[in-house]
A and B are shown apart, each in its own frame.
Chain A
Amino acid sequence: MPSADVSREDLVKFLCETGAWTLINERPFDIVPDIESKPENIFISTFDTAPLAPNNNLIVQGNEAAFQTGIDVLSRLTEGKVFLGLDGNKGAKLSSAFTQATNAVRHYFSGSHPAGNVGVQIHHIAPIKPGKKVWTISVQHTIALGKLMLTGEMHRTVTVAITGNEILHPHYVSTYAGASVKEILEGNTSDAKLRIISGDVLSGKQVMADGYLNPNDDQITVISEGDHYELFGWLLPLSPRPSVSGTFPNALFPNMKFDANTNTHGEKRAFVVTGQYEEVLPMDIYPQHLFKSIIFRDVEQMEGLGINELSEEDVALCEFVCTSKQPLQQLLREGLDYMRTEA
């Protein structure tokens, strides 16, 4: 185990040998960082605002010391700072692990999703400069990193939230990263045709019923498939559905609760509506122009319009609200991959 005054080089070597290096995520591109990589800053979002996301204040309970140790290690890996994004919403009960963290700069963010997305927080704290890299790491991974430094052992246990309207008893479960979905969900789902998602409904990945969790995810969401026709469903929907538009009754009853399914509620079309992405992306970015520049593969324009500041989860809400049903997360990934090969 490395001592407290070990060189950065040896620390990196230790992290690589123990596999802890893969806990770190590098932006742009959302990749495991290169061993030579030196981040400008490191960012941790301590709250998740995605639909039905786990509560990190609960997860950090009993792991306060490990979390702090994790921050301490991270602060030695960057010449910049470690930034913590905290939930600034009224009534939020924050763990002392977050509010009293040392060796880190705290920033409070208020508002609904995507306020908890680390990408949005980076944009408002210290945006990524062209040619520079930053690291991000989740709360659970920071705890794992801390435990490694405290005990010398790499624990890949993770607390997972079992959520979604087809789950009979939503709860948390402590398991191994990449656990079997079948074992976790056994006897706890409804009889409907199910969509099992590793992650949340906006940017999670679909997994088969006998598949495994994505090792980086701390949430499973199960919803019903919406593969049915609906008579005049576009005009006079019989069942409530999520929408940000003012054309559904939901607009008048913001606290209305209902089941969501995977129906696309319409077909893919060319970009028509403008301004709707900006409303759900609190960043100084012009998403539609960026997506168009991705479509015609203009690297300069992509970079100029801020593709490096985005990852799939940041544009997930744009994709959700998109009237033209464009596959924006896929487009963004194509753009990021293209940028990487071109660079």
Chain B
Amino acid sequence: MGLLDFIKKIEPDKKKSPLLHTAYDAFLTFAYAPNTVTKGGVHIRDGMDLKRLMVHVVLAMQLCYLFGSYNIGHQHFVAAGQYLGFMDGFHLKLAHGLIVMLPLFVVTHVVGLGIEFMFAAKKGHAVEEGFLVSGALIPLIMPPDIPLWIVSISVAFAVIFGKEAFGGTGMNIWNIALLSRVFVFFAYPTEISGDTCWISGYETLAAGDSAQYGWWHTSFFNSIFAHFDWPLFDSAKTVVVDGFSGATPLALGYQGGMEAITAHYSMSQIFWGAIPGSIGETNKAFIIFGALFLILTRVASWRIMFSMVLGASVMGMIFNAWDFTLFMNVPWYDHLILVSFLFAMAFMATDPVTASGTNTGKWIYGFFIGVVGMVVRVMNPAYPEGWMLAILFMNSFAPLIDYFIVQSNIKKRISRVQ
């Protein structure tokens, strides 16, 4: 245990430098499971702890990360009229994806964890693991070209006002990742709506200019690619494609129903995810894989996922029967794989802290997310996607749902007297 002895030796003083000690403690317990033993109560404990729980959620979205990063590059080059095949220009697409994704990931974590560390030091407790998941989710639900300063502000807002103000991990009312996104949505609406924001570099291209590449593209990656004699990033070759639209399937569906969607994207494209959208939500196969992983490891609640599918299906069928607009006519089963429904179901609605705590409550909670989300998606002309708002809306009602269920249990117990 030479390494452990060394780490123990460099422990900073807790009173003199609380922030440093908090950071030290966080990294020590990250590297080593602590040597604490049970005292009073049970003598053996389950191997599961919050770190392990959270990291399994992060693991479940790794394929979304991989695909999302690559798809950023793919969409960029398709918009620029280059390497139209999905695997063409693989190295360029991956490099461009990483150039967009990594700063987003790093900034999210530096800001979020920085705030968590500060609050933990101030309150004198260990850094809690909640941000492991929030920090992994936030980059996946942002549009690729979002300015990093907006991400910083939105993360800071969500962590400070959404979480720390309520007492930290386990105490928040609203989903932290969605709070940061809803902050961008209301504070900087132009960054997250319309047709141009979902494709990296498309704003420049749509304006008729060629793509702008920075130091990482032209110097760092190009010098590596040149070494292997592979094609390079070349802004001169990028041109806007006539008739190309960066519209997401929902924007198309809102205008022209299922026909407009399928005119642009095939169902297999929508399912496999080679389309514009928020970074992590496009590939449905990988999200389903993640959801199954979470259900099988019993990390996330299958009740919420199942009831949310049920709620969305029922509402979808009602819209199909109503058939008032073209968008209402989109078959209910197609709605389930359009845009971010599955991502919200697997990773957002299942957050145990903000969802209903009772099993019956979870059925109601999930079902109404499905219903409300579909209503917002289909009937809201300003923003044709509903899951973010539906989940935050139902987050607010989750305590009320639980209240009624718990009260009925209390009443049942009291009625035994008679």
Contact = CB atoms under 8 A, between A and B. Distances in A.
B224 interface: no
Contacts of B44: 201-202, 223, 242, 260-262, 320
Interface string B39-54: 0111111111111110
Contacts, number: 215
**Which of B46, B53, B355: most chain A CB closer than 10 A?**
B46
Interface in A258-273: 260-267, 269-273
Given A241-B46, A266-B49, 7 more contacts: A202-B43, A245-B53, A251-B297, A274-B301, A274-B356, A320-B46, A324-B50
A328 B298 CA distance: 22
Given A229-B4, A284-B412, A322-B46, A329 B40 contact: yes
Interface of B: 1, 4, 29, 31-38, 40-53, 55-56, 126, 128-130, 167-171, 296-299, 301, 352-353, 355-359, 362, 402, 405-406, 409-410, 412-414, 416-417
Interface in A229-249: 229-235, 237, 241-248
21 contacts: A130-B417, A201-B42, A206-B40, A227-B37, A229-B32, A229-B35, A231-B32, A243-B48, A246-B296, A247-B299, A262-B38, A262-B43, A265-B45, A267-B49, A270-B167, A272-B170, A274-B357, A286-B406, A289-B357, A320-B45, A328-B41
B355 A267 contact: no
| Closest A-B pairs by Cβ, 8 of them | A266-B49, A233-B33, A270-B170, A304-B410, A241-B47, A246-B297, A274-B357, A243-B47
**Which of A127, A204, A241, A270: most chain B CB closer than 10 A?**
A270
A167 B417 CA distance: 48
Interface in A268-301: 269-275, 278, 284-286, 288-289, 301
A247 B297 contact: yes
Nearest to A228: B35
Interface of A: 127, 129-131, 195, 197, 201-204, 206, 221, 223, 225-235, 237, 241-248, 251, 260-267, 269-275, 278, 284-286, 288-289, 301, 304-306, 312, 316, 319-325, 327-330
A234 B49 contact: yes
Nearest to B49: A266
B344 to A, nearest CB: 19
A195 B40 CA distance: 12
Nearest to B33: A233
A325 B412 CA distance: 30
Given A227-B35, A286-B406, A301-B410, A127 B416 contact: yes
A343 to B, nearest CB: 15
A264 B406 contact: no
A197 B417 CA distance: 39
Contact of B52 (A247, A286, A316, A320): A247
B119 to A, nearest CB: 13
A231 B171 CA distance: 30
